[in-house]
């Protein structure tokens, strides 16, 4: 009986966390969380002034594949947090990337998210 109650408690906690994560993502789609950071105009874009996001990859067969995976990692988290308008790596500013081949290609990158005006 105690084990069943413990499992039900864990299931309830996991369900609550998943529901909250979905709510946060829904708020982000409206760029609600983007308002937490100072934004500046850069040409025809609005960018975060000094807030960077990171992306990474590892164990890839080529540098090109590792770069693409790191960019995808950056874009998917940034889109989740701020909405798809902010998750376009091609619009980002202050990009830097570092890659190495140690047991497979891997890259680390950072960039300031931007969106079109």
Is residue 49 situated within a structural domain? Answer: yes
Is residue 21 situated within a structural domain? Answer: no
**Which residue range(s) make up the domain with 111?**
31-116
Number of structural domains the chain divides into: 1
Is residue 71 situated within a structural domain? Answer: yes
DSSP class per residue in the chain? -HHHHHHHHHHHHHHHHHHHHHHHHHHHHTTTGGGGS-EEEETTEEEESS--EEEEEEEESSHHHHHHHHHHHHHHHHHHHH-GGG--GGG-EEEEEEEEESSSEEEEEEEE-EEE-
Q: What is the residue-level pLDDT of the chain in tens, covering all 117 positions?
A: 444 433 434 333 434 444 444 444 434 445 568 888 999 999 999 999 999 999 999 999 999 999 999 999 999 999 999 999 999 999 999 999 999 999 999 999 999 999 999
pLDDT of res. 8: 37
pLDDT of res. 35: 87
Is residue 14 situated within a structural domain? Answer: no
Is residue 40 situated within a structural domain? Answer: yes
pLDDT of res. 30: 53
């Amino acid at each position: 009986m105690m084990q069943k109650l413990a499992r039900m408690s864990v299931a309830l906690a996991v369900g609550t966390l998943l529901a909250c994560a979905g709510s946060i993502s829904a708020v982000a789609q409206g760029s609600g969380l983007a308002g937490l950071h100072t934004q500046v105009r850069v040409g025809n874009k609005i960018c975060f002034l000094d807030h960077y996001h990171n992306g990474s990859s590892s164990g890839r067969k080529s540098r090109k594949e590792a770069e693409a995976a790191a960019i995808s990692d950056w874009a998917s988290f940034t889109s989740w947090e701020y909405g798809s308008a902010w998750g376009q790596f091609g619009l980002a500013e202050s990009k830097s990337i570092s890659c190495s081949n140690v047991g497979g290609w891997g890259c680390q990158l950072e960039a300031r998210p931007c969106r079109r005006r």
